[in-house]
Structure 1
């Protein structure tokens, strides 16, 4: 029963981590924040637009009120009796406005050079004046700072002097917005000019809307964050528990149910699943132990019996067959147990362990060479790593006639790793079969000297051992300059740190 392959953690570039959160809480907060920002922004824009339209309507109505009161009210009557026809066509009019009204009579348009006219306000004022039967030839509207208008500036400075206003308040009044409305009532060029002063709409409307929007946004985000934290905290704990159980298959430290009801049910179901998996693994270990014992005992008896065979050739063949069966049985049992090791991790000098394995082959006269090697110490299970190295070096010798072994530190997709490289001079493996070759009971092409091959468990066991340590086994063909295959390269990557 081969172990489940380890699931590597995704390698996420640091820049992407900054731009996009990968946790559930972070992504949900980002989605809610974006949705709230869109809704709040749209709502704030609509409120601002409605309030601005109301503000502009108030300014327009104030200007119309002053024009009508001046020309049709009691003061207009006095002006007509004195020969100053306010709203009737007549001769050129000039001079200061009547006291109490911000009106000016002039023969020139109030638009200064370089000023832009407010066409929307002009259309609205024309409509309102027409509704009031106030006949005009032309209407112009401009906006300027009160300090830039000679009449408004003179009046504000006189008021400041009368009331003793401080300089900063006077400066604010001079910067305030002034809407200047000019109405031409005759073809001779007579203009009635009204001025309506008020703060700019941006200053009046944007600040409270902005404060309101930010306040609502902060309150809603805090509420969402609290809800998400209540959901994601037990989920994060369950994730850590799952990772620990996947590595150790230990039932100690199971989580008590917490969080919302759905999350509690998930934790209860997960605990039950862990218990069932642990029971199945225990049954598997018992079964494997029984199989190993029940098979090895008759094999040992057969090994003794073949000594009575008189034919040396036949006896040698029988002994070789028994050794193959024992070796295959050991590989199967090791492959089944590698996912649940019983021996603890030990701080080990990997280069020393590698040299010890190489010496075994050198003592047997096998052509094993040592390349560049670094001293690297890390936490591992020496017995299993030694088994993986024997399998890989044995494969290199069997199919490639010689093996070259080296050890170095490299940056791999999983981070910094200790990398053991085993090269051979064999025919390599077809590219479309490299991945399949690491599966149990898979053998190479017959051209790879199948007569000396085993049961196809060596690479599968080496890969399982590497993954048991959080690493990986990588196979690749070594290519010459002309593209031909020079041999096979096996890399055992073990994370450092």
Structure 2
């Protein structure tokens, strides 16, 4: 029956607003969202099927009621009294739980109304089963307020029972099935009316209560299970982040949660201990190498003083200095992941100027651009080392260095530019790998082991920042130099 079908909004706006809803990022949020959507789908399908079954039941009940009234009126005592010449009882006389029947010369369908073919077919089958022969059947749906007889009956009931205005309006909005049949032996229409409550009004409350109860019970159970899983997982994530920053095995987690999570925590603790032991062994080995190499290098410095040729002695001293510098870079690069000095609240611009002054004192062409004052937590010794490497590279390969400091979003950006030949675009990333040097145009007669940029990038990573290299290109497309961006988080 068409008037009993639910209506659902199908607008583009609803779909667009759904697509724009923020999605949870945590495991617990996504799992709860997935369960909620699954429950919504299941409840929606269940409500639809229950609604269909209830609607079909209402349809059958209304058709049976209409058929019962038609049969009782034409075959009951009142019909017999009419045919025997007794007093005519109006067809509008009382009928069980419904409206009075009436005769009419016209079919009970108003202009603009649509016949319910399914109801007509169902009523024809019921009447045929009862051997009630009809020639024509018309069935339509309308609100009580739009039917003359039903409206008068509803207003009379409201007045007799003292119904409120809201109850009266609700009664006038009720669905009404109007059925007209014309038998083979009579030319007039016998009209029956059956009023039924709207199924959506009857079903809405229990379905809503059921849905709320299911959501509360299932979502609470799922939330408890997920919390038991995600709490140790979140603690393990925090522990992993701390270990990645400090490589300190102190404060390892105790196994908790489900058995799978406990095994994961135990395996992670064992992995941490092994990594820490390997790092300690590496530091001991590097310390021994540094000591064993620097001692003979110091002895060589003393011995070269006996060389009478000044030129040869200078070359030997420069070679020793290169070896010492390379050794320092190797040791620093190996130890940058496990710094021993703590973070300090440092004025970055003051630290930058102190490094620049060192080069100015040596007469190096270092220019200072726009600079902003900002303080942040960092390790001054390491940042100073990174700045020396970057400025030294700019002076070595680009003949001059321009340094500026600015704030971009939540980061401090130190920009170091030179006027050198730049780096081929396909080689920029590899240039920050250890022991990688550029083409002859950038390293001719400059020495070095290719560790400066690798060390600067490692220091930036150590502070949660980044080192970005890019070529400076003119409007004509020519490379005018290299720009190194050292980004450090302000938070």
Residue 41 of structure 2 is aligned to residue 46 of structure 1 = no
CA 1:457–1:346 in 2, change beyond 3 Å: closer, same or farther? same
Give the gaps of 5 or more residues in structure 2: 1-17
> For residues 86-485 of structure 1, what are the structure 2 equivalents within 5 Å?
96-100=91-95, 102-186=100-184, 189-411=187-409, 416-485=410-479
- Looking at structure 2, the residues matched to 464 and 155 of structure 1 have their Cα atoms a distance apart, in angstroms, of 89
* CA distance 1:126–1:456, shift in 2 (3 Å): same
Distance (whole Å) between structure 2 residues aligned to residue 314 and residue 16 of structure 1: 76
Q: CA RMSD in A?
A: 2.1
Contact 1:463–1:473 at 8 Å: present in 2 too?
Answer: yes
**1:166 Cα deviation after fit:** 4.7
SS at match of 1:418: strand
**Relative to 1, partners in 2 of residues 1:228 and 1:295: Cα closer, same or farther, differing over 3 Å?**
same
3-state secondary structure, aligned to 1:470: coil
Q: Which moved more, 1:484-493 or 1:208-217?
A: 208-217
Report if aligned partners of 2:69, 2:95 keep a CA contact under 8 Å in 1: no
Partner of 2:75: 72
Cα displacement string for residues 298-341 of structure 1 (whole angstroms, at most 9, x for unaligned residues)? 11111111111222222222111111111000000000000000
Is 2:437–2:443's contact at 8 Å kept on the other side of the alignment?
no
TM-score by length of 1: 0.90
Alpha-carbon distance in 1 for matches of 2:193, 2:321: 110
Write out per-residue CA displacement over residues 435-475 of structure 1, whole angstroms, 9 at most, x where no aligned residue. Answer: 11001011001111332131000000000001111100000
Report the Cα distance in structure 1 between the residues aligned to 2:485 and 2:19, rounded to whole angstroms. 29
Q: CA deviation at 1:187?
A: 8.6
Q: Aligned to 1:451, what secondary structure does the other structure show?
A: coil
Query: Match for residue 55 of structure 1?
Result: 58
Higher relative contact order, chain-length normalized (CA < 8 Å, sep 6+): 1
Q: CA deviation at 1:402?
A: 0.4
Instruction: Between 63-72 and 467-476, report the one with greater CA deviation.
Output: 63-72
Shift of 1:16: 10
Q: Which moved more, 1:316-325 or 1:426-435?
A: 316-325
1:167-224 CA-to-partner distances (Å, cap 9, x unmatched) read 5444433332221111122497411111111211221223322332232133212211
CA contact (8 A) 1:409 1:419 kept: yes
Unaligned 5+ segments in structure 1 are 1-14, 86-93
Equivalent pair of 1:306/1:315 in contact (CA under 8 Å) = yes
The alpha-carbon distance between structure 1 residues 260 and 436, as it changes in their structure 2 partners (threshold 3 A), is same
In the TM superposition, what is the alpha-carbon distance from 1:428 to its structure 2 partner? 0.4
Match of 2:24 in 1: 21
- What CA distance in whole angstroms lies between the structure 2 residues aligned with 1:427 and 1:349? 33
Question: How far, CA to CA, are the matches of 2:83 and 2:214 in structure 1?
Answer: 57
Deviations 1:274-304 (A, max 9, x none): 1111111111111111111011001111111
